[in-house]
Chains A and B, each alone.
Chain A
Amino acid sequence: MADINITVDGRKVTAAQGTLLIEACKSVGIEVPSFCYYPNLSLQGACRMCLVKVEKMPKLQTACTTVISEGMTVTTDSDEIRQARKSMVEMLLGNHPLDCPVCDAGGECELQDMTFSYGAAESKYMEPKNHKDEQQWSPVVYFDRPRCILCYRCVRVCGEAMDVWALGVQNRGVSSIIAPNQEDHLECEECGMCIDICPVGALTSGAYRYKTRPWEMKHVGTICTHCGDGCKTTLGVRRSDTGMEIVRGDNRDKSGINGDFLCIKGRYAFDFAHHDDRITQPLIRKDGRLTPSTWEEASALIGKRFADIRDHQGGQSIGVVGSNRTTNEESYLLQKFARIVLQTNNIDHHRTADFPAFAAGVTGKPESTASMRDVFNAPAMLLIGNNPSEQHPLLAWQIRNNVRLHRARLYVINSQEIKLRRQAANFVPIPEGTEGDVASFLAGDDSAIDTAGNETSDALKPLRDKLRSEQNLVIIFGSEIRGDDISSLVKFGSNIPGSKFICLGDYANSHGAADMGLYPNLLPGYHSISDIGIFHQERGGEIPQTPGLTLPEMVESAKADKLKAFYVVGANPVGRLGLDPFSFSQGFVVVQDMFLTQTAEIADVVLPAANAYEKAGTFTNTCGDLQLLKKAGEVNGTKPDFEMIVRIADAMGFDVRKLVPFGRGTRADMGQSRGAQAGEADRHAVWLEAHGLEPKMSPFDPMAILDEIQRLVPGYDVSRMDLQAGD
């Protein structure tokens, strides 16, 4: 698009045709204030804060609705403009309760900031303010009308962006009020977007309100651990009797791959950390009962039994189960521990999507995986299977908003009437379980859908033609499509110029668990067991040469009394697969978990684990993006899985240096961490960390093993600087 030149406050500004004046100003760092304007939501022009002077126009104009035109000359600051903005704030404050001292938004409130900027301190009115009692609309959404400034952001984000449409405006004039359909009751998905987007304290969160002030919390930007999309969430944490408590989650700095978005889980789902049932001490089975114990006793016991079993029965009599929710470093370490310390390839995890088949399908096809950003910008998208609105909320958000803002074409093939069909240019319902057949059909096998019925095939044929005429298509598929069907789909996509794929995995680090080699037959990066040379070199340890047992095979082996030890890290196979707990009654079972799961209940030793909000490391989202996790919360008595694995190895008499290459990196004088020089040291630390040079002085430092992962696992070679920056 052609560029347009304008002058703002005497500065030349160039921006693409169609750019809004407010955005053009922002691009050169001139901030025009606004309440109602919100990027990517429909324009309102309602708050009148963004008034600026455009030459040749008699009245002040709203920068948020003015599209730039060649030669436009604009002034964004003058006495007249300041007065206009000041008077808007004065008028707003007229009916505003000014209850900042008890308002959750105090300190993070755009109205406060605007009042501060424009000095609307004098109260010109003495009339009683219009009052309306606060309403609770849902367990998490509270609404305080007097604080509301009617910017309509909540209404728009709920409707346009979330496609929920639970909020509207009732009445008119000064009686206007944001309202759900039933005046006191929201019918919605509880995503909390309305709360987040509210510039003032009118919408507050039931989970957070009146708990603390924003400045009393530490804000830690980390990755949400609830699904595979990998949204950034900023956790507000506060010291508590039992460690660090997470008080709230939001996306206040909007710098993650999720931009403005966060779903109900990312926003509220961390109260499990302080659940009464949380285990905070190692438990050892004594006299048939799990009894609180010490770390020393537990490590010694595990070390001794694991070593005994390995030495007397052989590594193949030990089974290991990893997790979809632990960090990459932990998964990597776990399989390394299994293979070189326990001397077994009996390692598996709860498999979701068929990542190995997908990896095989796209090897040698660079640039064939799509990111969340690609989903937002692609001209066309194909979705087969899955229900992203529930399983991948960020992905659904990207899809919806791409359709809304860029008029992208969405094609949906699904056995359910999923919500995203509302955005679809074309929705083809198919019988359940035929997703794989559809993949074959797309790849050219017309007979694959013979059983699906005429209606389906009549709908699929024109769809396939249409898809073939697309370019830069993003093909998104759920775990319904596996194995050869994935290769068919990849084959189909390869004939569409610029097409890319996303394979959807269920849990926060399903993708990472697969990449890290939690498979009995695959090493990290999907190298087969026979492809072992490079790992030998790196580890200096022997890896057993034969593939190990899958999880179901381990169970069979345990029943046959061949499997003598079972080490479960962050998984609950007994509960999830409904296994017979007695299968393991003859073996030695060690479980690391937050809670006493059904698997933990049959264990001989249970170690209290920290969750992903309570440790550092990296996660790989479903698109394959590597992201940094930062420690936010803490519950006294728990430890990260990483540390526990290292401790067990140590207790087995293994040289932990061979397991975790710590103590490499540059050693630096960290200087003072407090006082006047503190910032100096911090800056050094940040720089060193960004360049991968931070001192890894502890064997419990996951960053120490990240170097190894980056060397060995294809696709993980992102720069530390990018990882640090989160993009």
Chain B
Amino acid sequence: MAELVSHPDEVRVVSRRFGQGATNLDRYLELDGYKAVQKALTMQPDAIVNEVKNSGLRGRGGAGFNTGMKWSFVPKQSAKPKYVLCNGDESEPGTCKDRLIFEHDPHAVIEGTVIAGLAVGSHTGYIYIRGEYRYLLEIMQKAIADAYARGFLGKNIFGSGYDFDVYWHGGAGAYEVGEESALMESLEGKRGIPRIRPPFPAVVGLWGGPTVINNAETLASIPHILLGGADWYANLGPPKNGGTRLFCLSGHLKRPGVYELPMGYNLKKMIYDVGGGIPGGRKLKAVVPGGSSTPLMTPDEIDVPMDFDSMMKAGSMLGSGGVVVLDDTTCMVKFALRIMKFYQHESCGWCIPCREGTDWLKKTLIRFHSGGGLKKDIDNILYLSQNMLGRTFCPLGDAAAMPTISIVKKFRQEFEDHLEGQPCAFEKESKIEQLPVLA
């Protein structure tokens, strides 16, 4: 069970019930549980969609698309059943927030899923939880069963005449399956290969039916928005970036942990104030602001508000809320390598640039870090990453390229320091992975 932390700047919305025993349905009801869905049952679907749209809630899965807007793309009439799919595949390195939601507040996810269903006229929801989160899957299984037992799910929910089923679904280890179309493939029992878009899931999704896909945190925010109102939620953050966000602080920090802070919270403050700064009197070197796929930022770049638009302007991305802090003992080449190892391992292999590009980048970085680097490799690494960018079948290729480009550009000197057989200055002893090198 993951430890909880707190900080005075926190604004607890999604994390309101953390640590309150809300996995217990009665306790959840005491804490305003299932009120929002009952309210939603009295509303017109369009009104729910508008409320969410106006709240400025943007997808917490990483891309930051306006959630209400996404729902509005679902056709009103559809010959095939419509579905709501909760993305709980949380696998982006640096991200560990959905885990807390499932652990402490599973009913909020269920409730959000039902409300999304009401908004788009669907009668079935699936909650997909990554395979490694077995204990969370079990919590969710129990929560769903409890909700059925009370008539909150199934036929005629809350006596409203509306039917809604929610099913759990477990993964089996694959980052790419978090990508929305690969997620649907996986749920349909296939390899997690993304689908060609268009058509987008909102039009043609699970088993061909229109499908709303949202991150678990996104869906868990929905009940609060309906109860608190769109204005209240929108005003928690800067314009067009409504609400709060679970930030997962990790790396070289005194007080790592998951904190709920308003959108637009200053990154520097987040590191030094909320996260307690860097231990051992060492200095900040770089920050991964939103999970491993976002471009890294240097200490002089971090005085920015953490919202989707400001981060974009600052040349990076808000991503999935995983803030990883690196101090000056970190070898940036090794860090770039570890990121690339991840993407190489997780690439589904479908398209050439991602499959081959990540593999070559990984190999080159291994050789580079082990002291076999040549000067031209630095440019080759850039060349390769830039040729992947924007040309892959799904955004995983971009996710691999972006941090790499930022590291090479911002820390080029460290690459040069590794040239011509020089041992890595950051390694205590030379215990680096060796690949045979052709001269």
Contacts and interface: CB of A to CB of B under 8 A. Distances in A.
Whether A and B touch directly in their complex, counting CB atoms under 8 A apart, is answered as yes
Interface of A: 43-48, 51, 58-60, 65, 83-84, 87-88, 90-92, 94-95, 124-128, 130, 149-150, 169, 171-176
Given A47-B352, A90-B387, A174-B356, 18 more contacts: A44-B196, A46-B393, A47-B351, A48-B351, A48-B352, A48-B391, A88-B353, A92-B352, A127-B364, A169-B349, A172-B191, A172-B192, A173-B345, A173-B346, A173-B349, A174-B344, A174-B358, A176-B349
Interface string B338-372: 00000011111111110111111001100100000
Given A124-B380, A172-B174, A173-B348, A84 B355 contact: no
Contacts of B192: 172
Interface residues of B, number: 37
A48 B348 contact: no
Contacts of A46: 350-352, 393
B4 interface: no
22 contacts: A48-B352, A48-B391, A48-B392, A48-B393, A60-B391, A84-B387, A87-B383, A91-B352, A95-B356, A95-B359, A124-B383, A124-B384, A125-B363, A126-B437, A127-B360, A128-B437, A150-B352, A150-B355, A173-B346, A173-B358, A174-B347, A176-B349
A79 to B, nearest CB: 13
Contact of A48 (B345, B353, B364): B353
Given A48-B391, A91-B356, A150-B355, A175 B349 contact: yes
B436 interface: yes
A130 B362 CA distance: 13
A531 B148 CA distance: 86
Contact of B435 (A43, A58, A65, A127): A127
A358 B22 CA distance: 79
A50 to B, nearest CB: 11
B348 A84 contact: no
A167 to B, nearest CB: 14
A126 B360 contact: no
Nearest to B392: A48
Contacts of A125: 360, 363-364, 380
A130 B355 CA distance: 13
B279 interface: no
B5 interface: no
A172 B436 contact: no
A46 B360 CA distance: 18
Given A46-B350, A172-B349, A173-B348, A92 B390 contact: no
B438 interface: yes
Contacts of A47: 351-352
A176 B352 contact: no
A-B pairs, top 6 by smallest CB distance, nearest first, are A176-B349, A87-B387, A91-B356, A127-B363, A174-B359, A173-B347
Given A46-B350, A126-B438, A128-B438, A173 B391 contact: no
Contacts of A87: 353, 383-384, 387, 391
Contact of B390 (A59, A127, A169, A173): A59
Contacts of A84: 387, 391
Nearest to B389: A59
Interface string B383-407: 1100100111100000000000000
Contact of B359 (A48, A51, A59, A173): A173
Nearest to B390: A59
Contacts of A92: 352, 356
A272 to B, nearest CB: 42
B435 to A, nearest CB: 7
A43 B437 CA distance: 38
Contacts of B383: 87, 124
A91 B174 CA distance: 24
Contact of A91 (B176, B346, B357, B439): B357
A44 B355 CA distance: 15
B391 A94 contact: no
Contacts of B355: 150, 173-174, 176
A149 B346 contact: no
Contacts of B347: 172-174
A44 B196 CA distance: 7
Interface in B307-354: 344-353
B349 A91 contact: no
Contacts of B360: 91, 94, 125, 127
B182 to A, nearest CB: 11
**B192, B360, B438 — most chain A CB neighbours (10 Å):** B360
B333 to A, nearest CB: 16
A95 B363 CA distance: 12
Contact of A88 (B174, B352, B437): B352
Given A124-B380, A124-B384, A171 B357 contact: no
Nearest to B363: A127
A574 B48 CA distance: 85
Contacts of B176: 172
A94 B363 CA distance: 11
Contacts of B367: 127
A150 B436 CA distance: 26
B70 to A, nearest CB: 19
A44 B347 CA distance: 16
A80 to B, nearest CB: 10
A515 B391 CA distance: 58
Nearest to B349: A176
Nearest to A85: B391
A173 B349 CA distance: 3
Given A47-B351, A149-B352, A176-B349, A128 B191 contact: no
B118 to A, nearest CB: 33
A178 to B, nearest CB: 11
A45 B367 CA distance: 32
B358 A43 contact: no
A42 to B, nearest CB: 9
A200 to B, nearest CB: 13
Nearest to B346: A173
Given A48-B351, A84-B387, A128 B436 contact: yes
A635 B365 CA distance: 60
A91 B438 CA distance: 18
A664 B15 CA distance: 98
Contacts of A171: 349
B357 A45 contact: no
Nearest to A84: B391
A92 B387 CA distance: 13
A91 B349 CA distance: 13
A172 B182 CA distance: 13
Contacts of A91: 352-353, 356-357, 360, 384, 387
A175 B367 CA distance: 20
A506 B360 CA distance: 55
Nearest to A87: B387
Nearest to B383: A124
**B174, B176, B384 — most chain A CB neighbours (10 Å):** B384
Contacts of A44: 196, 350
A461 B353 CA distance: 57
**A48, A65, A149, A169 — most chain B CB neighbours (10 Å):** A48
A127 B355 CA distance: 16
Nearest to A65: B196
Contacts of A176: 349, 355
A542 B435 CA distance: 88
Nearest to A130: B359
A43 B351 CA distance: 13
Nearest to B374: A126
**A58, A60, A150 — most chain B CB neighbours (10 Å):** A150
Contacts of A65: 196
A662 B392 CA distance: 65
**B356, B358, B384, B392 — most chain A CB neighbours (10 Å):** B356
Nearest to A90: B387
Interface in B421-439: 435-439
A47 B353 CA distance: 8
A146 to B, nearest CB: 12
Interface string B135-169: 00000000000000000000000000000000000
